[in-house]
Amino acid sequence: MKTEIYGGTTILEPEPTFKPRRTWRNWLIGNPLATADAPKHTIGKLIGLAVFASDALSSTAYATQEIMFILAAAGTAAMMYVIPISIAIVTLMTIVAISYEQTIHAYPGGGGAYIVARDNLGELPAQTAGAALLTDYVLTVAVSVSSGVAQITSAFPALYPHRVLIAVSLVVFVMIMNLRGVKESGTAFAIPTYFFVLAMAVTIGMGFFRYFTGTLGTVVNPPAFDTGTVLLTVTPFLLLRAFSSGTSALTGIEAISNGITAFKEPRSRNAGITLIWMAAILGTFFMGISFLSTHIGAVPSEQETVISQLARTVFGADNFLYLAVIAGTAVILIMAANTAFADFPRLSAISANDGFLPRQFTFRGSRLVYSRGIIALAGVASLLIILFQASVNRLIPLYAIGVFLSFTLSQAGMARRWWKSGHLKPGVEIKEAGSTLVHDRNWVAKLIINGLGSVCTFVVMVVFAVTKFSEGGWVIVVLIPFLVAVFFTIHHHYKSLAGKLSLENYGSPRRIVRNRVIVPIAGVHRGSLTALTYARTLSDDVTAVHVSIDPVESKKVREKWAFYGEGTRLVILDSPYRLFLEPLMEYIQNLLALRHANEMITVVLPQFVPAHWWENLLHNQSALLLRFGLLFKPGVVIIEVPYQV
Amino acid sequence: MKTEIYGGTTILEPEPTFKPRRTWRNWLIGNPLATADAPKHTIGKLIGLAVFASDALSSTAYATQEIMFILAAAGTAAMMYVIPISIAIVTLMTIVAISYEQTIHAYPGGGGAYIVARDNLGELPAQTAGAALLTDYVLTVAVSVSSGVAQITSAFPALYPHRVLIAVSLVVFVMIMNLRGVKESGTAFAIPTYFFVLAMAVTIGMGFFRYFTGTLGTVVNPPAFDTGTVLLTVTPFLLLRAFSSGTSALTGIEAISNGITAFKEPRSRNAGITLIWMAAILGTFFMGISFLSTHIGAVPSEQETVISQLARTVFGADNFLYLAVIAGTAVILIMAANTAFADFPRLSAISANDGFLPRQFTFRGSRLVYSRGIIALAGVASLLIILFQASVNRLIPLYAIGVFLSFTLSQAGMARRWWKSGHLKPGVEIKEAGSTLVHDRNWVAKLIINGLGSVCTFVVMVVFAVTKFSEGGWVIVVLIPFLVAVFFTIHHHYKSLAGKLSLENYGSPRRIVRNRVIVPIAGVHRGSLTALTYARTLSDDVTAVHVSIDPVESKKVREKWAFYGEGTRLVILDSPYRLFLEPLMEYIQNLLALRHANEMITVVLPQFVPAHWWENLLHNQSALLLRFGLLFKPGVVIIEVPYQV
């Protein structure tokens, strides 16, 4: 450890020997990592894909089914629209993915939609995007873990009563893994993620092989078709709703843009390639599942998922590969939470650095991760799980509105950026907070693509907000503006504090010409004399003050003071109403009223430090009350001189 | 307000102007009373009887019935034993009352059994008596209010679900009345108490008139005789149990001895006369009720109380006087709580003054009553009511063991006192802590009476403890020793503290020859410069310490320090693990290791005082943690210099 010393006289300086101690925390999350080692604790593309793609890939487990559920209202014939709708979704996905790929290169510091909105649209859209994303990550953890636990409890119904405990334990487990560091959690969770990718790839591959060889067939014993109120006509609004529901496949595609800083250098390149991989896998899986599910005549049902129907048609229900797909699907749902744990802390650190969240979120813990963000995420998500009793149905309406709001803002921000770029002279560079803007030759095409993406994602968001409003979506509609208001309040605090602390127009500091020291004493004993001795080193102007409640006690104080007070002035305040604090406060306030601008008043209190905490209950906490009473008065300093008992 | 000033130079001293402010508390409990006015705020015999007799008189409402319940096990014929047993109880009551009357004169400072045991038997019996009495007072409040509420809810069954709320509200009401002062609560509660006394006197008087005129008759439609398991033989043990149950008439007779200080001067005389009045009324009522109830053939029953049977036989059920007796009985049960509110705070103040309870119990509140004792009693009793859901049956087994334990100790203490008195030479005086001992000519007779009283009350206590053990009496058997242990632990703390603070062998205080001041700074701004300016007034040896977490930030600090540091030495501690507290603690500890015995280390921290409490959440509470970490290290003082934002 290096210690630098500047100025002053040369005096004996202790040798710095600081080494972090080994505690239970080291056992739980590993030994502390030095700041200088930060570049080593980043992840490559393979681990990065596992960390950031889990959320997006998990949506392939239900996106096709969501489309089918909506179309089912118009009967079996409407299933013909599954493939066109899926193509439209993959197109939108491509636009969004390309847009984020460009964002990653333009803003290598991470922050995705938040930063894009901040630099191109302004503070309010930026904070809206931040609130939407942070809310969404909390919901991702709560929903994905709850649905993973729902899969487990449907396999083992005996565990159902313990679902909340299991879900919260899983959240805590993922939290601890993330506190160990991004590399550690990424490596550990890569196995289940790639297990799912492999299982799904084999299913789709084998499905297409059978389709082309004509041996695919249809679902044996499909679940009953939930007719409900069948419309039998396909309206444009129904198609729009089906499209919106299917866009749940897009959720998570923004993850990498928020977590660029987790990647090894060259960061942007690695993050960008990982995003392309992810989008390719996501699109292939989603399209493959939609195509095959339609061809095997899969039926949307609460009893059996479309994925299960597809897997057992491809492999047969007894095949172990079928079980692997089912297990992989349960696991990827829980893994989606890990993506949120990678993004929430990074995004909250960026926001905190801008002064919109408590500054504490910017501190990196002993393992170089933003520990407080990780713990905050786990805490809020656990609270949600407990409140909603790990019920997916009640949580899901809250979901996806936020993420599409962030897509819309991100797309709009990029569109605005192309517009600015198009109006720059070639060769001119504009340095912005998070990026550098230059002229782009293809700005019109890019503007059109991002503008279209923005409109589409906006429409999806509105459809979500309207259709899910009464089911609980209103919570999000209320919550996001509320959070934005909180963020701006926090920002106002930091800005106003910075202004008040600023050294602009400071000149030279005000001299303190007099330090008046007051030593309140209840009795004359070693504790109060320790305080007195200390007080006398601070100033030549020391006054002991005794509040007289009991005349017998006061007489003793007076007599002892004559001997032990060493000539220090003693003021005895008569307290006819047996109050201690009030007469003392009154006395100090009167001194303050007479105070010269360059004068300080210092109150020195003896403080017993008992050996056990409960012994404090046997004493008045007058010092604490006095401190609180005087805190807001300028010119007063309170000192407690500890007397170890 | 008078202010005395001793020693020191004559400097401008503010004029004391302290007047207690008017707040909502004044509205609730009245304006503060000056200590000098204390003699005015005492009570005479008439109010004193109302305050302290409520508890004892309320027991006449059930004592006769308790005897009958036990005897009922041997059939109707056994009722002939009610009168002899009542005579035995009144005899014991007379012994106990005479004994307490003597106690009152011997120990005018109050404290009853506690003080008698302390001065004559030793610390352990004294603390046992104290624990027994304090427990008993808490139970008196819980039981009497619960049974009063039970009477109300049996008249208005719709109120039954709200019984806990009603009971707790009544406790809070009695608490507030007592916080207003002993005179105020005594006067207010005298009305219902004397209402009961009058109603009962009329009932018994009219009963005897009818008995002598031969018009009394027997109970019309008596409730069914609860046969249960009828033994049909009267065993000595049954008579002993009946006697013990009947001694519940004695509970509360000790009340005045604990509350002498509430009386006007001459205290002992006033208290003693009040005790004699109380005992006379109590004995007459109890004997009268026992005699008349037996003669009218009253039947012990859960359906109708013996008092109700007596009153309706005397007046007829339609007579308004019958209703007055019933109402008066309900009210006196609640009033019994008021006696506990008069005694518990006074006894706990005496005990706290001896150092066996937290010293806070000795402080008198703005209305000259021991407010903290009153509030503590209300709090614990309310907790009991909530825990036991205001059920009398579940609380009653806990009751009366404690009070008979205190009777036994008090009687034994007085017996021991007569013994000591008998062995003193006439004319010799021995000053004890609470009284003066002189030779008493009749010491043998008095010794025999108190010895007998002690044995009888001991037997009753054992019968209670044994017969009620399994119903919950074990709680008391466990609780009292536990409380005694707690009292001695508290006492040990105060004694050891007094020893450590004592100025014996103090010599002259250690000079402080060097005060090394450390100013930890996170950045260079108005807050830290305010702290620096203050620190420089304390000592010539000031060192600013910056813990370097972020090199960019540290560079700024260094550069700004060159300008604003005014030559103060700046030490930069490198923190490779991004910790703030630990390197600083290490640095201070190294300084402490090098510390000379006469050297102090003072840590001056800038402290922001935000305008709103929640703004503290946006800052690290490093100062708090540092204070806690350094609290146990001798030679370190921490100063927070407030910077009002």
- The last residue of a domain, from among B433, B459, B491: B491
**Total beta-carbon pairs less than 8 A apart between chain A and chain B:** 291
Supply the pLDDT for residue B20.
Answer: 63
The answer to whether residue A1 scores a pLDDT higher than 70 is no
- Let me know: does A395 contact A138? Beta carbons within 8 Å: no
Residue A11 pLDDT > 50: no
Q: Can you give the pLDDT at residue A16? A: 53
Which of B22, B354, B486, B537 is the best substitution to test chain A (most A C-beta atoms within 10 A)?
B537
**What's the CA gap between B289 and B64, in Å, rounded?**
7
Chain B residues close to A539, C-beta within 8 Å: 537
Report strand pairing: B514-520 vs B542-548. Answer: parallel
Partners of residue A541 in chain B, C-beta under 8 Å: 11
Number of domains in chain B: 2
- Give residue-wise pLDDT tens across range B128-167: 999 999 999 999 999 889 988 888 887 788 888 899 999 9
Q: Within 10 A of A326 (CB to CB), how many other CB atoms are there? A: 18
Residue A12 belongs to some domain of the structure? no
| Min distance A553 CA to chain B CA atoms (Å) | 13
Q: Report whether B437 contacts B424 (CB < 8 A).
A: yes
Does the residue A244 lie in any domain? Answer: yes
Among A536, A573, A618, beta carbon nearest to B493: A618
pLDDT above 80 (res A8): no
Q: Work out the pLDDT band at B230, boundaries 50, 70, 90.
A: low
At B53, is the secondary structure helix, strand, or coil?
A: helix
Identify which of A588-597, B266-275, B525-534 has the greatest average pLDDT.
B266-275
Residue A3: the pLDDT is 63
Among candidates A16, A565, A594 on the partner chain, residue whose Cβ is nearest the Cβ of B12: A594
**Pick from B14, B558, B564: CB nearest A590:** B14
Question: Within this chain, do residues A112 and A162 fall inside the same structural domain, yes or no?
Answer: yes
Average pLDDT of B206-210? Answer: 94
- CB atoms near residue A377 (< 10 Å): 27
Q: Which of A11-15, A408-412, A588-592, B583-587 has the lowest mean pLDDT?
A: A11-15
Residue B500 pLDDT: 84
Provide the greatest CA pair distance for chain A. Answer: 110
Q: Chain A residues with CB inside 8 Å of B558's CB?
A: 4, 6
pLDDT digit string, tens, across residues A242-269: 898 888 889 899 999 998 989 998 999 9
What is the model's pLDDT at position A12?
45
What residues of chain B lie within 8 A of the CB of A608, using their CB?
A: 497
pLDDT at B1: 46
Residues B524 and B486 grouped into a single domain: no
DSSP-assigned letters across all residues of A364-405? --TTSS-HHHHHHHHHHHHHHHHHTTT-HHHHGGGSSHHHHH
In a domain, B20, yes or no: no
Of B493, B524, B584, B630, which to mutate for an interface test with A (greatest number of A Cβ within 10 Å)? Answer: B493
Whether the pLDDT of residue B278 is over 70: the answer is: yes
Q: From the CA atom positions of chain B, what is the Rg in Å?
A: 33
Higher pLDDT, A19 or A581: A581
Indicate the pTM of the whole model. Answer: 0.77
Domain check: are A466 and A545 in the same one? no
Does one domain contain both B475 and B389? yes
Mean pLDDT of A212-241: 79
- In this complex, the residue of B533, B539, B615 whose CB is nearest that of residue A493 is B615
Average pLDDT over residues B567-574: 89
What pLDDT score was predicted for residue B11? 44
Asked if A573 and B16 come within 8 Å (Cβ–Cβ), the reply is yes
DSSP A263: B
- Looking at the domain assignment, is residue A2 inside a domain? no
Average pLDDT over residues A139-167: 88
Please tell me the distance from the alpha carbon of residue A31 to that of residue A469, in angstroms, as a whole number. Answer: 47
pLDDT for A466:
86
A-chain residues within 8 Å CB-CB of B576? 1, 34-36
Give chain B's mean pLDDT: 87
CB atoms within 10 A of CB B639: 25
Q: State residue A6 phi and psi, 5-degree precision.
A: -125, 130
| A132: pLDDT strictly greater than 80 | yes
**C-beta atoms of B570 and A6 within 8 A:** yes
In B, which residues are within 8 Å of A8 by CB distance? 543, 567-570
pLDDT over 70 at B3, yes or no: no
pLDDT in tens, A345-364: 999 999 999 999 998 899 88
Chain A residue with CA closest to B606: the answer is A637
**Cβ-proximal residues to A268 (8 Å cutoff; 6+ apart), any chain:** A104, A105, A108, A260
Q: Are residues B103 and B63 located together in one domain of the fold?
A: yes
- Residue A344 pLDDT greater than 90, yes or no: yes
> Which region among A279-283, B192-196, B534-538 has the lowest average model confidence (pLDDT)?
B534-538
Considering the domain architecture, whether residues B533 and B612 belong to the same structural domain is answered as yes
CATH at residue B555: 3.40.50.620
Closest CA to A249 of A92, A391, A392, A74: A92
Taking an 8 Å cut-off on Cβ atoms, the answer to whether B637 and A640 are in contact is yes
Residue B632 has pLDDT above 70, yes or no: yes
Report whether pLDDT(A431) > 90.
no
Block residue for tokens 């008189």: B57
Quote the pLDDT of residue B9. 43
Interface touch B529/A543, C-beta < 8 Å: no
pLDDT, one tens digit per residue, over B324-337 is: 998 998 889 888 99
Q: Is B614 exposed, middle or buried (0-12, 13-18, 19+ CB in 10 A)?
A: exposed
Query: What are B92-117's pLDDT values in tens digits?
Result: 999 999 989 988 988 888 878 999 99
Least confidently predicted of A114-128, A530-544, A601-615, B361-375: A601-615
**Inter-chain residue contact B637 with A639, CB threshold 8 Å:** yes
Residue B509 in domain: no
Please, are residues B182 and B369 in contact by the beta-carbon 8 Å criterion?
A: yes
CATH number of the domain within which A384 lies:
1.20.1740.10
Domain range for A201 is 43-491
Mean pLDDT value of segment A291-303: 88
Angle at A246 between CA A241 and CA A247, to 5 degrees: 100
pLDDT at A508: 66
Residue A178 confidence (pLDDT)? 94
Asked if the model's pLDDT at residue B247 lies above 50, the reply is yes
pLDDT (average), residues B484-500 = 91
Q: CB distance A609–B619 less than 8 Å?
A: no
Q: Looking at the structure, do residues A65 and A153 belong to the same domain, yes or no? A: yes
pLDDT at A632 exceeding the cut of 50? yes
Q: Is the pLDDT of residue A280 over 90?
A: yes
**Does residue B548 sit in the same domain as residue B401?**
no
Strand (E) positions, B295-439? 430-431, 436-437
Cis-peptide into B266, omega within 30 deg: yes
Whether residues B569 and A610 touch (CB distance < 8 A) is answered with no
pLDDT band of residue A22 (cuts 50, 70, 90) is low
Residue B497 lies inside a defined structural domain of this protein: no
pLDDT band of A24, cuts 50, 70, 90: confident
Q: How does residue A10 score in pLDDT terms, banded at 50, 70 and 90?
A: very low
Residue indicated by tokens 């972090």: A20
Q: Are A312 and A222 in contact (CB under 8 A)?
A: no
Same domain, B157 and B207: yes
Q: Tell me how crowded residue A594 is: count the other CB atoms within 10 A of its CB.
A: 13
Lowest mean pLDDT among A47-61, A225-239, B609-623: A225-239
pLDDT value at position A606? 86
Cβ-contact A111, A117 below 8 angstroms: no
Q: Do A503 and B493 touch (CB under 8 A)?
A: no
- Contact B13/A494, CB-based, under 8 Å? no
Q: Are residues B465 and B550 in the same domain?
A: no
Digit-coded pLDDT (tens) for A454-483: 998 999 899 888 888 887 788 888 999 999
* Same domain, yes or no: B316 and B422: yes
How far apart are the C-alpha atoms of A222 and A305, rounded to whole Å? 10
Three-state SS string over A534-600 comes to HHHHHCCCEEEEEEECCHHHHHHHHHHHHHHCCCCEEEEEECCCCCCHHHHHHHHHHHHHHCCCCEE
Residues B96 and B243 in one domain: yes
Strand duo B569-574 + B542-548: pairing: parallel
Looking at B476, B491, B506, the residue that finishes a domain is B491
Per-residue pLDDT averaged across B405-421, rounded? 92
Domain-located, residue B195: yes
Taking only the tens place, the pLDDT of each residue in A312-324 is: 999 988 888 988 9
pLDDT band at A29 (very low <50, low <70, confident <90, very high): confident
Task: Indicate the burial class of A149 (C-beta count within 10 angstroms; 0-12, 13-18, 19 or more).
Answer: buried
| Spacing of C-alpha B495 from chain mean position | 22
Give residue-wise pLDDT tens across range A478-519.
999 999 999 999 999 999 888 888 887 777 666 788 889 999
CA neighbor of A403 nearest in space, from A347, A365, A330:
A347
| Parallel, antiparallel or unpaired: strands B514-520 and B436-437 | unpaired
- Whether residue A36 lies inside any domain: the answer is no
